[in-house]
Amino acid sequence: MSAPTTTSLISDEVRELANQEYQYGFVTELEIDVVPKGLSEDIIRLISSKKNEPEWLLEWRLKAYRYWVTLVEPTWQKAKYDPIDYQDIIYYAAHKPKKEIASLDEVDPELREMFNKLGISVAEQERLSGVAIDVIVDSVSVGTTFKEKLARIGVIFCSFSEAVQSHPELVRKYLGSVVPYKDNFYASLNSAVFTDGSFCYIPKGVHCPMELSTYFRINAADTGQFERTLIIAEEGSYVSYLEGCTAPMRDKNQLHAAVVELVALDDAQIKYSTVQNWYPGDANGKGGIYNFVTKRGLAAGRNSKISWTQVETGSAITWKYPGVVLKGDNSIGEFYSVALTARRQQADTGSKMVHIGKNTKSTIISKAISAGHGQNTYRGLVDMRRSALGARNFTQCDSLLIGKDCGAHTLPYIDVKNQSGQVEHEASTSKIGEEQLLYCRQRGIPEEEAVSMIVNGFCREVFKMLPMEFAVEAQKLLTVSLEGSVG
């Protein structure tokens, strides 16, 4: 067990973490390749060497790390949580994809029931239930079938690590071009330690014929939390990308600090949809994911368009502002969001739209639902620079409260530096009507079904932006997440 690397049947540290997984019975034995807890330049060198990375990437990581150590963790967000001990995290823990897959019978019945409710197929269940090895095996094989088909039209869709090996020039050109390593505390951290993620490249003029989809998986107790996704849409191309996130239940809070960068060149369009269902913690607020993510798109070219659609039902704390930098003239940025906080969940989320080019347009539609003791904050920035002549923004933030113990807050920031900009902001807060509930129940619709119907109605504007299957999944997720929040 000599430092810094350990390849063995479970070190003590990992055992401690993995024990938590055992109690849910996913896996009986794990073979894991880990580095010790904590963060240092040595650890970063080690991660980089394990991934066989080129020198420039290591240098980039180290620059990010050296910058990160000078930073102080920000505390301005609305959510409250205990300080994170960054030396108590394992930054690299790869499962070896050869072990037996744990059977579904071993999965916690509650979790299994949840998947049943979600209507996810058995194959999918195995992929999602946190059986890490299986997840990796499955997602690789899925990725491969896509890859061959897509390669024929020039689309590259692979893991980030693979892209570093096979398309280093593209990665080098665009990595950090939208979210620089100095962007913020968590982006710096991610830049130093990111382990994997997805990479998509759509060549000029190609309309990607299928939805590209990745299920993000948090595997062992501390891995896969620093993904990095990079999507590049060349001139006149189009891509729709979906990400789904799930995580097994654990008592310990886990930090998830991902970075997503999108680049759309002239006339290109990127549609990015997320259904985020990381473990939200239990009813008392124990456990759950800290989802501190930086997502940004650069609408670099003329007439380019980037849309974010997100349905956030999971995570103990969600802290993110997917945004678009509207650099190209006539470019368009969109943000459609449903954020649900139930139990003791907290969310401080919204969007940033930075208008630089002429006649740029942005739309923000945010639907926040609070139930239980959930606290939901919309925070958004509309920034119209001097050069953004004729820019327009429309923002609509609606909050829905279910019960007495939850809260909703709206914090819009608007900064307009030219006379020709137009900004509209609409906000509403409503309580789920006793009257609406009674009306449904009087017609025979059971209470929980009625709540879910009313909430889904409230979110319809956003759901209709999601690809069909995702919309169905999102609705089911909302229903599951709301369970027990009435009555």
Partner 1 sequence: MLKIKELRASIDNKEILRGVNLELKAGEVHAIMGPNGSGKSTLASVLIGRDGYELSGSVEYEGQDLLALSPEERAVAGVFLAFQHPVEIPGVGNMYFMRTALNSLRRARGEEELDAMDFLSLAKERMKFVEMDPTFMNRSVNEGFSGGEKKRNEILQMSILEPKFAILDETDSGLDIDALRIVANGVNALRSEGRAMLVITHHQRLLEYIVPDYVHVMAEGQIVRSGDKDLALELEETGYVGLTPSLTQVGVAL
Q: Which residues bind partner 1 (CB under 8 A)?
A: 433-436, 438-447, 449, 453-454, 456-461
Residue with tokens 């920000």: 74
Q: Which helix (H) or strand (E) holds 59?
A: helix 55-68
Choice between 446 and 484, CB closer to partner 1: 446
Q: How far is the CB of 436 from partner 1 (least distance, A)?
A: 5
Q: How far is the CB of 431 from partner 1 (least distance, A)?
A: 13
Listed residue (178, 196, 182) closest to 233, CA to CA: 178
Q: How far is the CB of 424 from partner 1 (least distance, A)?
A: 20
Contacts of 169 (CB under 8 A, 6+ apart): none
End-to-end CA distance of the chain: 53
| DSSP class per residue in 72-129 | -----SS---PPP-GGGSBS-EEEPTTSPPPPGGGS-HHHHHHHHHHT--HHHHHHHS
In this structure, what token pair is assigned to residue 429? 């807060």
Q: How far is the CB of 374 from partner 1 (least distance, A)?
A: 20
Instruction: Work out the widest C-alpha separation in the chain, in whole angstroms.
Output: 68
The CA-atom distances, in angstroms, between 274 and each of 72, 244, 271 are: 29, 6, 10
Q: How far is the CB of 454 from partner 1 (least distance, A)?
A: 6
Choice between 152 and 443, CB closer to partner 1: 443
Choice between 74 and 433, CB closer to partner 1: 433
The CA-atom distances, in angstroms, between 58 and each of 51, 107, 439, 440 are: 10, 39, 61, 59
Choice between 298 and 440, CB closer to partner 1: 440
Q: How far is the C-alpha of 340 from the C-alpha of 175, rounded, in Å?
A: 31
Choice between 309 and 330, CB closer to partner 1: 309
Choice between 332 and 440, CB closer to partner 1: 440
Listed residue (88, 41, 91, 87) closest to 67, CA to CA: 41
Q: How far is the CB of 457 from partner 1 (least distance, A)?
A: 3
Identify the three-state secondary structure at position 318: strand
Q: How far is the C-alpha of 158 from the C-alpha of 156, rounded, in Å?
A: 6
Q: How far is the CB of 430 from partner 1 (least distance, A)?
A: 9
Q: How far is the CB of 332 from partner 1 (least distance, A)?
A: 24
Choice between 331 and 452, CB closer to partner 1: 452
Choice between 156 and 459, CB closer to partner 1: 459
Choice between 332 and 465, CB closer to partner 1: 465
Listed residue (339, 236, 240) closest to 293, CA to CA: 339
Q: How far is the C-alpha of 72 from the C-alpha of 87, rounded, in Å?
A: 15
Q: How far is the C-alpha of 228 from the C-alpha of 159, rounded, in Å?
A: 10
Q: How far is the CB of 461 from partner 1 (least distance, A)?
A: 7
Backbone φ and ψ for 128, nearest 5 degrees, come out as -100, -15
Contacts of 450 (CB under 8 A, 6+ apart): 436, 437, 440, 441
Tallying the residues shown for the chain, one arrives at: 487
Listed in sequence order, the DSSP H helices in 119-247 are: 122-128, 132-151, 160-166, 168-174, 185-193
Q: How far is the CB of 442 from partner 1 (least distance, A)?
A: 5
In this structure, what token pair is assigned to residue 323? 């945004």
Q: How far is the CB of 44 from partner 1 (least distance, A)?
A: 48
Q: How far is the C-alpha of 39 from the C-alpha of 29, rounded, in Å?
A: 27
Choice between 98 and 443, CB closer to partner 1: 443
Choice between 423 and 440, CB closer to partner 1: 440
Q: How far is the CB of 118 from partner 1 (least distance, A)?
A: 20
